[in-house]
Every structure is written in C-alpha cells, then in structure tokens.
Structure 1
Amino acid sequence: MTSTTSDALHIVCPHCDAVNRLPPARLREQPTCGKCQKDLFTGQPVDLASARFLKHIERTDIPVLVDFWAPWCGPCRTMAPWYAQAAKSLEPDFRVVKVNTEASQDLGSRFNIRSIPTLALFRGGREVARQPGAMDANSIIAWARGR
C-alpha cells in the first residue's frame, strides 16, 4: 500500500504555530515548518501559554508531554535541566512542552493541577496520563514512553 496525504501527521510549529502536514517517515529528517522555515523539532521544551498550548495539544498528532511548573518551585527548578535533557531523547516521537502555571493560571485550573511539577501526557487533545513530582531525565523518558 502506498502512502497518501491522509497518512500525514499534523505537527504544530513551535515557533509560529502553523500546522504542518508531514509524512511519518520524515519525522527523523529534521523537518522544517512550511510557513516560517524553522525546525519543527528543536530538542528543547517549548514554552507555551493558554491559546498556543491548546492549539498544540489539539492539533499535534504525536503525543504531547507537558511539564506544569512554576518559577518559585524548587523541585521544578531542579527538574528543569532533566526535562530539557529528556526532550532531546523524546523528540520527534513526542512534542515536549512546558507550562508556567504562575503565568497561565487558567491552564493550571482547567487541568486541575494541584501540585507541581506535574507531568501530563496528551494524545489527540485529551490527557491520557499524569505524574506529579520531580523526576530525573531517565525517569521522564521511561514514564513517557511507557504510556
């Protein structure tokens, strides 16, 4: 069976938020955005707030791993470099994002975030798994891939 455009994955650009159609085979070929020409995968967590966050979880066809955090949170600051390290391993199989719950209190409330840091995994716009507490890079990778 040959690949058709209906087999394409939708990937939201981390820079300009354009929705790109990409054949799954091209995920590992350092794809660029058709609109802004920047890399679709940077190996770094994407910092998202309200409207951008919703577009990414609803329109991206690969799983979206989210770190809900706050700048005043010691465990969040401890986990940040591990999360960045995990992003390098998880992309392009996952979109890796961060949400500052202090700056985006609406998202913290909407997703009932009661402790931080909290990791949440979204597929097709729906939360499918959640894990509160700081983790090291290997634990983050194992947790995400195990869901």
Structure 2
Amino acid sequence: MEATTPCPSCHALNRLTPGRSSEGAKCGKCGALLFPADPVTVTDDSFQRLVVESPLPVLVDLWAPWCGPCRTIAPVLEELARKYHGHLRVAKLNVDENPYTARQMEAMSIPLLLFMKDGRVLQRLVGAYPGSEIENAVRVLIGQN
C-alpha cells in the first residue's frame, strides 16, 4: 500500500516508497524536506495532516512561550529531532495560538509531550522530564528499546 505525507512547508501531498528510508525525502512541489531534522511547527489546521496522518511516529510538544519548563526542554526536543531524523517527527504546538487542538489533546498542564503512532496517543508526559526519560519514551515509540 502506498503511503503519502504532506509537505510541512507547502502542504502538497507526496508519495512515499514503502521500505525506503524517509530521511532526505523532499517535496516534489517545493523541494523542502518532508521530514526535517528540526521540530516542525503544527497548528490547528495542520495537526491532522502532519501528526495524526504521519507515516512516522510523532513526538508532539504542547507548549507556550511564557512557560519556563517548556523553554527548558526545548533544546532536548531539538536534539532528539536531529538524532532520530528519518525515524521520528518532532512537532511543536503552541497552545495559546491553537486552543482547539490543545483542548482535543486534553492539555491541562504544559509542557505536555504526546508520543503518537498511527494517529493514536501511546504515552503522555506532563512537565519538564529529564532528557534521558524523554529519549527512553522515544526509543519505545520507534521500537528501538
């Protein structure tokens, strides 16, 4: 079965070849990386396409600019995005700018990390966890544990 994914830049749908690494895959329309090595900003409008329908497992960070613990874990998430590039998508959702998705994901406290695969939340971490604990959850999510 052929998988597709939207471009995080222009939102054009792109076909993915089964069994082939997604690392370095580029959008056929705009040339942007389909799975960038940096966290991708998602919104209420793009959450379904970039997170729920992602062919890769996704670590979603629900955060706000005024949240100190959110700023504390941001470098950890950036490093995990680079380290697991091609195996994991890291997405960031600003809860102040995207209240609909924040409500849908039951974000009562932030930072809230959602570990998602095939559109389902498999694990939730609330608060500023140590980087090693976040990485352990990522390894379980992508099957490297």
Provide TM-score, normalisation by structure 1: 0.86
How far has the Cα of 1:71 moved from its partner?
0.8
1:115 matched to 2:109? The reply is yes
Instruction: Tell me which amino acid in the other structure corresponds to 2:46.
Output: R
Higher helix residue share: 1
1:26 matched to 2:8? The reply is no
When the two structures are aligned, how many residues end up with a matched partner?
A: 140
Question: Residue 58 of structure 2 is aligned with which of 47, 56, 64?
Answer: 64
Instruction: Tell me which amino acid in the other structure corresponds to 1:43.
Output: A
How far has the Cα of 1:104 moved from its partner?
0.7
Provide TM-score, normalisation by structure 2: 0.87
> 2:39, 2:103 → 1: CA distance?
21
2:37 match? 43
| Moved beyond 6 Å, runs of 4+ | none
How far has the Cα of 1:20 moved from its partner?
1.7
Q: Which runs of 5+ in 2 are unaligned?
A: none
Q: Which moves more between the two structures, 134-143 or 62-71?
A: 134-143
Identity of aligned residues (%): 35
1:145 matched to 2:139? The reply is yes
Q: Over the residues paired in the alignment, what is the CA RMSD in angstroms?
A: 1.6
Q: Which runs of 5+ in 1 are unaligned?
A: 1-5
Instruction: Tell me which amino acid in the other structure corresponds to 2:52.
Output: E
